[in-house]
Amino acid sequence: MTRFIRSTTLLALFTFLLTDLAHAARLPRKLAAQLQQQKLRQQAVGDLQTAPVPPQIASAHTVFISNQGADQTFPGTAEEAYTALYNSIKAWGRYQVVATPAEADLVFQLRAVAPITNVVSGDDNSPGYTVTSPAFRITILDAHTNVTLWTVTSPVDLGNKAKERNHWYAVDVTNATSRLKVLAGDQLSPTETADLTSQPKYSHKALWVMLGIFGGIAAAGTVAGIITVRNMKNDEKATQDAWCKQDKFFCTNTALAH
């Protein structure tokens, strides 16, 4: 009986060993197959070429700029956006800006947009709020066929101080024109490149000074102020994240300074 048990045990161990060895032999083959599949996928992705920009944009000589209005939540008027971009594109000089679509090779349809890109829920102590991502949206059409060739979306950020508004609005307009220049194959000047990588810095210095003055009066006021600062920072981050989702060019070419 003891000899039978011993023989059975040895047979079981031998069978287990053979099974384990067979499994181990299959692993390299399976791993090799997975690596080969991964290599093939990478080669397929590498073989994909960047889609070309329609040549009409670079070869055009004349352009008509139309005003498509503005969203109610856009921080400015449609007329202000249209005038600023009209003058910027005209000063660029690559295209002759004409008075009617019939005279144009391209039509630039401008709309000042501000879609809601995030909703932050409130609580019992503070209401919720929405985050918008203002931008200039320029739709480029072939004037002869009325086919949309491209759409350029350039974020608009005016800072948090009234006296800084005009400066940053000019930067926003420059950024939008710079996107058109890159699309048309023009090189950006050092000044344009510097503006392209700049965004207004949001400063909470004044709020922290206020907290320092009134902090000793009521701890509750200090806590409320800290919560306000946190909400402001969360708002800014949500705006940045929304811009990155909305415009890859913005994430790639701008460095948000905070």
Residue pLDDT tens, the chain, 258 long: 555 555 555 555 556 555 655 555 554 566 566 666 766 666 655 566 678 899 999 999 999 999 999 999 999 999 999 999 999 999 999 999 999 999 999 999 999 999 988 887 777 777 778 888 999 999 999 999 999 999 999 999 887 677 788 888 998 999 999 999 999 999 888 877 766 766 665 544 444 444 454 455 444 454 455 555 565 556 556 656 655 555 555 555 544 433
Q: Would you tell me the crossing angle of helices 78-92 and 165-184 to the nearest 10 degrees?
A: 50
- DSSP designation for 75: S
Q: Where are the domains of the chain?
A: 1-49, 55-253
What is the domain class of 55-253 according to CATH? alpha beta
Q: What is the separation of C-alpha 252 from the centre of its chain, rounded to a whole number of angstroms?
A: 8
Burial grade of 18 (CB within 10 A; 0-12, 13-18, 19 or more): exposed
